């Protein structure tokens, strides 16, 4: 990402797209090669991307199920993933 931050709606990005953009933002902020006002703008975008990634991860985790086995070791159904 060069110049101004991407204006694509964060909610329309896939997890992979959001992570890639977030990595770019972190790199730019770490290098310190952007003006203060633009740093604030891309930091805010980064926060939105982080929240979007967390939402997508939570949704994926909610869909993951582990297989329950019966006494014979055969699949007997599913149950929610343990949250440890």
pTM of the model: 0.70
- The 3-state secondary structure of 12-45 reads HCCHHHHHHHHHHHHHHHHHCCCCHHHHHHHHHH
Rounded Cα–Cα distance for residues 58 and 64 (Å): 10
Give the pLDDT of residue 60: 84
Tens digit of each residue's pLDDT (9 = 90 or more) over 18-77? 999 999 999 999 999 899 999 999 999 999 999 999 999 988 877 765 556 667 777 776
């Amino acid at each position: 990402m060069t110049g101004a931050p991407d204006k694509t709606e964060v909610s329309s990005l896939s997890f992979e797209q959001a992570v890639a953009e977030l990595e770019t933002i972190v790199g730019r902020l770490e290098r310190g090669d952007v003006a203060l006002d633009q740093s604030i703008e891309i930091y805010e975008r980064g926060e939105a991307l982080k929240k979007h990634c967390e939402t997508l991860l939570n949704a994926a985790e909610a869909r993951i199920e582990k297989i329950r086995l019966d006494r014979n070791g055969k699949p007997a159904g599913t149950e929610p993933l343990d949250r440890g």
